[in-house]
Amino acid sequence: MAAFAAARARALSTIAEACARAGRNPEDVTLLAVSKTVPAERLRAAVAAGLALLGENRVQEAEAKVPLLPGASWHLVGPLQSNKARRAVELFDVVESVDSLDLARRLDRLAGELGRAPLHVYLQVNVDRDEAKAGYDPARLQAELPEIAALPNLSLVGLMTVGRLAATAEEARPTFVRLRDLSERLRGLEPRLGPGLSMGMTSDYAVAVEEGATLVRVGRDIFGERPPLQSGR
């Protein structure tokens, strides 16, 4: 537990220093500990150390962990297949990877059926138009946003992006600027879109905070290097 408490303190210090550079309040930035591949036994210690907001990439993996950690809150930060949507609504407090109108409609319907409304979601945007990344094309999101915002059982927290691979954190800055600018423009058109910006991971979250991130997704700095996924997972 002491190691996790120290890792949490380091991450919060990094956030506070980035906020000081940008003239922001550190309380406006939330730390999400990305817990993919980390077993529930280790996560119990992390939650006890104050890391109670956890992010998972896969619905199947979360199924085994969520019942064992009743003190945690859970975000889905990985891609969501439509056939896993019902289970995702049951398990997660927030879905950060909504990247189509069809998926938004399905989550809206399920949230109503399962009594989980409003379900908090982020709209994932591929602001770099990187073919290797998931997410909305910005122009398509603008076209579909009014219909998504009208869905009664979803609460649009804001936008999320997965940054491109970059050699340095500074090279990732344009991605974060693009997402922030897109958020400002879309909120001018659709006030039901919230101001949340989920952006930045272990290698670049300080820069993301400087550019307006309200939630950063940090895994390696908290849990260490992950083992490679086994074939078929």
The answer to the question of residue 228 being in a domain is: no
Look at residue 64 and tell me if it is in a domain. Answer: yes
Residue 231 lies in a domain: no
**Residue 209 above 80 pLDDT?**
yes
Q: Which of 201, 218, 226 is nearest to 51 (CA)?
A: 218
pLDDT for 167:
87
Q: Which two tokens stand for residue 79?
A: 């891609």
CATH number at residue 23: 3.20.20.10
pLDDT of 132 reads 85
pLDDT(90) > 70? yes
State the pLDDT at residue 166. 86
User: Would you say residue 155 lies in a domain?
Assistant: yes
Query: What integer is the mean pLDDT of 6-10?
Result: 98
Q: Of 188, 193, 191, 220, nearest to 204 (Cα)?
A: 220
Residues 104-117: b if buried by 16+ CB within 10 A, e if exposed: bebbbebbbeeebb
pLDDT digits (tens, 9 = 90+) for 112-171: 999 999 999 999 999 999 988 899 999 999 999 999 999 999 999 999 999 878 889 999
* Inside any domain, residue 219: yes
Q: pLDDT averaged over the chain?
A: 95
Q: Do the domain assignments include residue 212?
A: yes
The answer to the question of residue 99 being in a domain is yes
Distance of CA 27 to the CA centre of its chain: 17
Residue 20 has pLDDT above 80, yes or no: yes
Structural domain span for residue 212: 2-223
The per-residue pLDDT for 231 is 36
Q: What is the spatial distance between Cα 166 and Cα 156, in angstroms, rounded to a whole number?
A: 29
Mean pLDDT computed over 171-182: 97
Residue 137 lies in a domain: yes
Tokens of 203: 């290698």
pTM of the entire predicted model: 0.95
Tell me: pLDDT of 228 over 90: no
What's the confidence (pLDDT) of residue 114?
98
Residue 171 token pair:
């090279």
Q: What's the number of domains the chain is made of?
A: 1
Tens-place pLDDT, residues 45-81:
999 999 999 999 999 999 999 999 999 999 999 999 9
The confidence band for 227, taking pLDDT boundaries of 50, 70 and 90, is low
User: Quick one: average pLDDT of 210-225?
Assistant: 96
pLDDT at 230 over 50: no
